[in-house]
Amino acid sequence: MKILVVGGGAREHTIVWKLSQSPKVSKIYTAPGNAGTARLAQNLEINANDIQTLLKTAIEKKIDLTVVGPEAPLAEGIVDEFQANGLQIFGPTKAAAQIEASKVFAKELMQKYNIPCAGSATFSSYTEAKKYLEKQATPIVIKADGLAAGKGVFVAETMEQAHQALSSIMQDRAFGSAGDRVLIEEKLNGREMSVFSFADANTSMPSMPACDYKPVFDGNRGPNTGGMGSYSPPQFLTPELFKTINDTIMQPTVRAMQNEGVPYQGVLYGGLMITGEGPRVMEFNARFGDPETQVVLPRLKTDLLDIMLAVVNNNLNQIDIEWSDNACVGAVMASGGYPGGYKKGLPISGFDGLDDDILVFHAGTKLDSAGRVVTSGGRVLTVVATADTIAHTREKVYNNISRIQFEGCHYRRDIALLNK
């Protein structure tokens, strides 16, 4: 089968890597891909948001299955466009992707179906929101309704910060129409966990959990990034917690979507806080996480193509999904200065000196005119290992990561070490 993977980060490189292991896959294209995907697939110079060009290309190249990595094309309706043209595509429709693209939609769904989540109130008027906020206590969380590239959530410690956040979203319109509505939400305390479930219209499979590390520096200090590393399974996951997450959150959510007439097909990503009272949803995403995918898919034993086809054809209940018991750890190497400004085009060396079982998933990389791998983004590579324990896996990652070099590169040294 011919596959098209939409996106160009380490998440997409991991998806390409996993799909390339399927005996049924004959050719993979990526749009736009990176220097890592170029080894396993053919990169196409098409932006992941250019739905019409992607559609035209999929028809021309007779693509059998398209797999969408990032949220923006899903929220814009890439799945609806492909389906309307008779093409198979893995991901939720525009209506179902609202579970990520509208936090108000997700919250109303959870409230209606008693899915445990943070208590909150929704406003479309700045004056009303301000009046309500004045009666609340801090800390408090202020969220823009729509997609804001991960920047639309403010955990305010003081009332002044909360008012600033509200005014930036609703008055300054920092996120445009994504800030037409806001949620004012209780702050949850506990440990964060991301869970991923393959879901078709009728079923959600037991979820695969992981933890990611957003702050740039060790000890969770410094500004937030797209993610500096991740590991799976979380050290604090018990069988009881796993069952509660699936029975009270993931399964009921997939059933609720079906019941509402917006069946969900794809990967459902639950962003959870594990509180003293049990797991609570902070948000849902309509796709795989990055950098969690880099540590989740290496643990998948089942053919990923078989699972994706089962999702598309709504027969997921006929498939057994098997996961390895091994631990998996991934640390991100970033450009000097990231998440602020950084240089691009710097040569990367050391790939040849790595142990055989180390995986390197590329994000901001490209091939220069001489065919060398150079940097082209903030997050550059995720270096991944699997082993029997988290401690062994960490050792493997950090023994190898220092052999890869580019000017100014930095990475966290405490991924999977903090009891997060």
Q: Residues interacting with ligand GLY, by CB under 6 A?
A: 212, 227, 285, 289-290, 292
Nearest approach, Cβ of residue 165 and ligand AMP (Å)? 12
Packing angle, helices 251-259 and 103-112, rounded to 10: 100
Cα Dmax for the chain:
62
The two three-digit tokens of residue 322, written as one number:
């098997």
Which x/- pattern, by CB under 6 A, does the window 118-137 give for ligand AMP?
x-------------------
Contact of residue 12 among ligand AMP, ligand GLY, none (CB under 5-8 Å per partner type): none
Determine the Cα–Cα distance for residues 33 and 309; give it in Å rounded to an integer: 22
* Residue nearest ligand AMP (C-beta atom): 283
Residue number with CB closer to ligand GLY (129 or 249): 249
Helix (H) or strand (E) holding 383: strand 379-387
Residue indicated by tokens 């950084």: 342
Binding residues with ligand AMP: total (CB under 6 A): 11
Nearer to ligand GLY, 64 or 100 (CB): 100
How far, CA to CA in Å, does 405 sit from each of 13, 94, 227, 245, 334? 20, 41, 20, 40, 11
Give the pair of three-digit tokens for residue 209.
């959990």
Which of ligand GLY, ligand AMP, none interacts with 141 (beta carbon under 5 to 8 A by kind)?
A: ligand AMP
Q: Which stretch binds ligand AMP (CB under 6 A): 182-190, 259-267, 355-363, 376-384?
A: 182-190
336 binds ligand AMP (CB under 6 A): no
87: phi then psi, degrees, rounded to nearest 5: -100, 145
Smallest distance from the beta carbon of 56 to ligand GLY, in angstroms? 29
Instruction: For residue 180, state whether it binds ligand AMP (rule: CB under 6 A).
Output: no
**Rounded CA gap, 346 and 14, in Å?**
23
Cβ nearer to ligand AMP, comparing 9 with 289: 289
192 counts as binding ligand AMP under rule CB under 6 A: yes
Give dist(CA 237, CA 239) in Å, integer: 7
Smaller CB separation from ligand GLY, 37 or 285: 285
Site for ligand AMP in 267-296 (CB under 6 A): 271, 282-283
Closest CB to ligand GLY among residues 80, 290? 290
Which C-beta is closer to ligand GLY: that of 3 or that of 286? Answer: 286
Q: How far is the CB of 71 from ligand GLY (least distance, A)?
A: 8
Return d(Cα 271, Cα 279) in angstroms, integer. 10
Minimum distance, C-beta of residue 382 to ligand GLY, in the bound complex (Å)? 12
- Rounded distance between C-alpha atoms, residue 273 and residue 287, angstroms: 19
CA angle 269, 38, 323 (to 5 degrees): 35
Contact present, 4 and 54 (Cβ < 8 Å)? yes
**Residue for token pair 């923006």:** 72
User: Applying CB under 6 A, which part among 93-101, 164-172, 187-195, 346-354 lies near ligand AMP?
Assistant: 187-195
Q: What whole-number distance in Å separates Cα of residue 109 and Cα of residue 205?
A: 20
Q: Of these, 1, 44, 121, 155, which contacts ligand AMP (CB under 6 A)?
A: 155
Q: What is the contact surface with ligand AMP in residues (CB under 6 A)?
A: 118, 141, 153, 155, 185, 187-188, 192, 271, 282-283
